[in-house]
Amino acid sequence: MRRLPLLLALMVLAGPAVAEQRPEHPAECRVAAHLAESSFPLPQVARAIAAKKLAVLVIGAGSSRLPGPGGAKNAYPARLQTALAEKLPGVAVTVATDVKMRRTAAQMVEAMPVDLAATKPALLVWQTGTVDAMQGVDQDQFAQALDKGINIARSAGADVVLINAQYSPRTESMIALGNYAENLRWIAVQQEVPLYDRFGIMKLWADLGTFDFYSATKKLDMAERVHDCIGRLLSDLVVQAAKPENPSPAGLR
Amino acid sequence: MKEKPFMAAVSTQRDLRLDLFRGLALWLIFLDHIPSNAVSWITIRNYGFSDATEIFVFISGYTAAFVYGRAMEEHGFIVASARVLKRAWQIYVAHVFLFAIYLAEIAYVAHSFDNPLYTEEMGVRDFLASPDVTIIQALLLKFKPVNMDVLPLYIALLVGFAPVLWLLLRAPSLALIASAVLYALMWTFDWNIPAYPSGNWVFNPLAWQLLFVFGAWCALGGAQNLSRFLNSRVLVAAAAVYLAFAFGIAMTWYFPRFGALVPKFVGELIYPIDKTNLDVLRILHFLSLAVITIYFVPVDWRYLRSRVFKPAIVCGQHSLEVFCLGVFLSFAGHFVFMEVSNRLPMHVLVSVAGIAIMVGTAKLLSWYKNVERKGPRPPAAKPGYAGSDVR
C-alpha cells in the first residue's frame, strides 16, 4: 500500500504518453512499421468499418499458421484480429482462416469461392508464393492464379491484401523466390491491390538484429513474437488503407 | 591443310576481351548466387535489365564457334560434332557433381535446422523423402535446384549446336535468321521444356539460343561486318540512352517512391521483364552494354595485357571449371553466413576469398595444362581429337 502514491504518480506521468501513442506496438515490431504502408485504398474495408462490422478472411499456406496447441491463437491471423479490434473500438472484428500446408496459389483459388461464400468478408488476406516457388510452378500459371483469385474475391465484394513469402535465410539457397516475388509485386501493382511486404519486413528485422532467423530451435517463443508483429503491422496497413482520406473510388463518408 | 574459301571467316587470333569479360561474368555470377550477399550490390543486374548470364551465354556461343568452327573446317562435320557432344557430356558430368553437393547441403539443412516459424519453407525437404524420383529427374535435367539452371542450358545449347554451326559456316545470315525465327515462334507458341516437379526450364533454351547463335555468328565474321556500325557515334549514343533508361527503371525497384515517376503505359509496356524467355528488353540491354564496351575497349587495348586484368582473363579461360567452382563456393559462402557470421565484413571476406579461390584454381589449371602439354606422354596414348586443348 505504501507504493500506491508512487504508482499513481507513475501512471500520471505515463498517461499522456500512452494516450498519445495508443495503440502502440512493441519496439521490435515498430522498426519495420514504415514498410507496412499501402499505396492502394481498401474501399470495402472502409465501408465495413463504417458499418461497425469488419469480417476478414485469411487464406494461406504453412507460414500463416504456427504448430502446437496454441498455434491458432498466436499465429498472425489471430494477432491481426486482436490488433484490429484494439485499433477500431466499437467495430466487431472477426478473422476467419483457411490455412493449409503445401498449397499453391492455384490450389487456394480453388478453395476461394466456398470460403468467401461461407464468411462473406470485406477483406481477403492472401498469403501465397512460397509453395509455388518450391514446386517450380510455371510463372504464367502463378500470375494467372493470382489474377483469378483477386477477381474472385472482388466479385464477392471483398478487398484483397497480398502477403509475400517469409524471409528465410537458411533455405534461401534452396527456394528460388525471386521471380515469384517479382510476379506477386507486379500483379499487386497492376490490380491495385496492397502488397504486405512480409519478406522486406523480416529482412529488415534480420539486418537490424531484431530477430535471429538463423537460430535452430523447437521453441515457439520467437515464432510467436514474429507472428505477433506481423499481425500488428498488417493491422496498420489495413487501417491506413481504409482511412476515408485515402482516395477511394467509392467516395465514402 | 587445305585452304577453304570460308577459312578466312574464322579468325585465328583469340580475342582476350572474351576471356576477360567471361571471367568477370563468372565472378558476378558467383557473387549473385550467394543469397543475401551485400557485395552483390555491385553486380550489373542491379542497374539494368540484363545480368551476367547474357554475357556468359553470348561469349560461350562466340568461343564455341571459334573453337569448333575451326575443327569443322579442318576435320569435317562428324569430328567437330563429336567434339561438341563430348564437351556437352563434360558439362553434364559437372552438373551432376554439383547436384550431389546440393543434395548434401539440403540434407544438412533438413537435419540440423528446425524452427516452427519455417514449417512452410521446410517443404524443401520433401525432395529428400523420395530420392528415387528426385535423383532420376535431376539426371534427366528436369529437376534443377536453385542457381543450377545455367549448365543445363549450356548443355542443351551445345547438343543442338553442330548443325547450327554447319549452317553458320555456309550461310551465316540464314542461320541467324533461323535462330531469330525460332525465338519468335517460341514467344508465339509459349514453347519451353518441362521441368520437375512442375513448370518449365528457368532458362528456356529455345529463347536463349538466340544469344548463343548470335555470339557464334559474331565469331564467324559477323562482328567484322558489324564493325562499321559499331564505331558509329549514333549507335553508341543510342546504347547509352537505353542504358540510362534501364538504370532509371532499375532504381524504381529499390526506391518504390520513384515508381510513381514511371508513366503507367511504360510500366505496362515493359513489365514483366521475362528472364526465362530472354525478354527483348534484356537482349537490348546486353547489346547496349556490348556496344559501349567494344567502343571503349578495342581489341588492341593496351591494358588488356596488364597484370590488373590477368586474374579475370585466366578465369575466363577455364570457364567450365571456374563456373562449377563458383556454384560450389556460393553454397559454401551461404553456409559460412549461416554458421559463422552474417555481418557485412563477412560478406566482403567471403566474396573476396571466393574470387581469390576461383583465380587460384584457374591459375593452377593453366599450369596443369602446360605441364600436360609439355610433359612426355605415356607411350600408349595416341594423339587424337578427344582430350585435345579444346576450351
CA A185 – CA A130 distance, rounded (Å): 14
B141 belongs to a structural domain: no
pLDDT digits (tens, 9 = 90+) for A160-171: 999 999 999 888
Of A175, A190, A206, the CB nearest to B121: A175
Tens-level pLDDT at each residue, chain B (391 residues): 333 444 434 555 678 999 999 999 999 999 999 988 889 999 999 899 999 999 999 999 999 999 999 999 999 999 999 999 999 999 999 999 999 988 888 888 777 778 899 989 988 888 888 888 999 999 999 998 888 899 999 999 999 999 999 999 999 999 999 999 999 999 999 999 999 888 899 999 999 999 999 999 999 988 888 888 888 899 999 999 999 999 999 988 877 677 778 888 888 888 888 889 999 999 999 999 999 999 999 888 888 889 999 999 999 999 999 999 999 999 899 989 888 888 899 999 999 999 999 999 999 999 999 998 887 665 554 544 444 444 4
CA B122 – CA B368 distance, rounded (Å): 43
Residues of chain B with C-beta less than 8 angstroms from the C-beta of A174? 105-106, 109, 124, 145-146
B341 belongs to a structural domain: yes
B360 belongs to a structural domain: yes
Q: Which of B339, B290, B333, B286 is CA-nearest to residue B30?
A: B333
Query: What's phi and psi for A121, nearest 5 deg?
Result: -80, 155
B114 belongs to a structural domain: no
B119 belongs to a structural domain: no
Of A166, A182, A216, the CB nearest to B114: A216
Name the minimum distance, in Å, from the CA of A126 to any CA of chain B: 15
Residues of chain B with C-beta less than 8 angstroms from the C-beta of A179? 202, 275-276
Contact A138 B35 (CB under 8 A): no
Contact B121 A166 (CB under 8 A): yes
Q: How far lies A52's CA from each of A48, A88, A93, A122, B167, in Å?
A: 6, 9, 8, 12, 73
pLDDT digits (tens, 9 = 90+) for A22-66: 456 788 888 888 888 887 999 999 999 999 999 999 999 999 999
Residues of chain B with C-beta less than 8 angstroms from the C-beta of A131? 120, 123
CA B69 – CA B218 distance, rounded (Å): 12
CA A79 – CA B293 distance, rounded (Å): 54
| Cell numbers given for B70 | 575451326
* Cα B149 → chain centroid: 10
DSSP string, chain A: -TTHHHHHHHHHHHHHHHHHH-S---HHHHTTGGGS--SS--HHHHHHHHTTEEEEEEEE-GGG---STTHHHHSHHHHHHHHHHHHSTT-EEEEEEEE-TT--HHHHHHHHHHHHHHH--SEEEEE-SHHHHHHT--HHHHHHHHHHHHHHHHHTT-EEEEE-PPP-GGGTTT---HHHHHHHHHHHHHHT--EE-HHHHHHHHHHHTSS-TT---S--HHHHHHHHHHHHHHHHHHHHHT-TTS--TT---
Contact B202 A176 (CB under 8 A): yes
Residues of chain B with C-beta less than 8 angstroms from the C-beta of A143? 272
Say yes or no to pLDDT of A6 above 50: no
Residues of chain A with C-beta less than 8 angstroms from the C-beta of B334? 172-173
pLDDT digits (tens, 9 = 90+) for A141-191: 999 999 999 999 999 999 999 999 999 988 888 888 988 998 998 899 889
Give the pLDDT confidence score for residue B269 in this predicted structure: 85
CA B127 – CA B105 distance, rounded (Å): 12
Count the domains in chain B: 1
Name the minimum distance, in Å, from the CA of A225 to any CA of chain B: 10
Centre a 10 Å sphere on the Cβ of residue A177 and count the other Cβ atoms it contains: 24
Residues of chain B with C-beta less than 8 angstroms from the C-beta of A227? 117
| Domain regions of chain A by residue span | 26-241
| Cell numbers given for A248 | 477511394
Calculate mean pLDDT across residues A65-74.
91
Of B146, B200, B259, the CB nearest to A138: B200
pLDDT band for position A244 (cuts 50, 70, 90): low
Please provide the distance, in angstroms rounded to a whole number, between the alpha carbons at the two ends of chain B.
Answer: 22
Q: b/e map of B101-120 (b: 16 or more CB within 10 Å)?
A: bbbebbeebbeebebbbbbb
Of B112, B115, B274, the CB nearest to A223: B115
Of B118, B272, B276, the CB nearest to A171: B118
Of A173, A217, A223, the CB nearest to B35: A173
Contact B199 A215 (CB under 8 A): no
Q: Which residues of B touch A (CB under 8 A)?
A: 35-36, 105-106, 109, 112-124, 126, 145-147, 190, 195-200, 202, 259, 267-268, 271-272, 274-276, 330-331, 334, 337-338, 342
Q: Which of B78, B71, B88, B26 is CA-nearest to residue B52?
A: B26
CA angle B35, B39, B41 (to 5 degrees): 90
Give the pLDDT confidence score for residue B380 in this predicted structure: 53
* Cα B367 → chain centroid: 24
Q: Which of A112, A119, A132 is CA-nearest to residue A63?
A: A132
CA angle B83, B87, B90 (to 5 degrees): 140
pLDDT digits (tens, 9 = 90+) for A75-94: 999 999 999 999 999 999 99
CA A160 – CA A126 distance, rounded (Å): 7
CA dihedral B319, B323, B325, B331 (to 10 degrees): 170
CA A6 – CA B106 distance, rounded (Å): 57
Q: ipTM strictly over 0.90?
A: no
Say yes or no to pLDDT of A248 above 60: no
Query: What's phi and psi for A98, nearest 5 deg?
Result: -130, 90
pLDDT digits (tens, 9 = 90+) for A101-121: 999 999 999 999 999 999 999
Cβ within 8 Å of residue B19, ≥6 positions away: B312, B313, B314, B316, B317
Q: How far lies A150's CA from each of A126, A135, A166, A183, B68, in Å?
A: 9, 22, 21, 14, 52
Beta strands in B126-239 (DSSP E): none
B326 belongs to a structural domain: yes
Name the minimum distance, in Å, from the CA of B115 to any CA of chain A: 5
Q: b/e map of B315-353 (b: 16 or more CB within 10 Å)?
A: bbbbbbbbbbbbbbbbbbbbbbbbeeebeeebbebbbee
Query: What's phi and psi for B56, nearest 5 deg?
Result: -60, -45
Contact B117 A223 (CB under 8 A): yes
Give residue for cell 553434364: B92
B92 belongs to a structural domain: no
Indicate which of A102, A134, A170, A205 best probes the interface with B, i.e. most B CBs within 10 Å of its own CB: A170
pLDDT digits (tens, 9 = 90+) for A130-140: 999 999 898 88
Q: How far lies B193's CA from each of A251, B207, B273, in Å?
A: 49, 11, 20
Q: How far lies A232's CA from each of A62, A93, B162, B259, in Å?
A: 19, 14, 60, 27
CATH code for the part of the protein at A26-241: 3.40.50.1110
B88 belongs to a structural domain: no
Mean model confidence pLDDT for chain A: 86
Q: For residues A28 and A205, is the Cβ–Cβ distance under 8 A?
A: yes
- Domain range enclosing B335: 13-42+304-372
pLDDT band for position A16 (cuts 50, 70, 90): very low
Residues of chain A with C-beta less than 8 angstroms from the C-beta of B123? 62, 101-102, 130-131, 134
Give the pLDDT confidence score for residue A1 in this predicted structure: 39
Residues of chain B with C-beta less than 8 angstroms from the C-beta of A176? 146-147, 202
Contact B115 A215 (CB under 8 A): yes
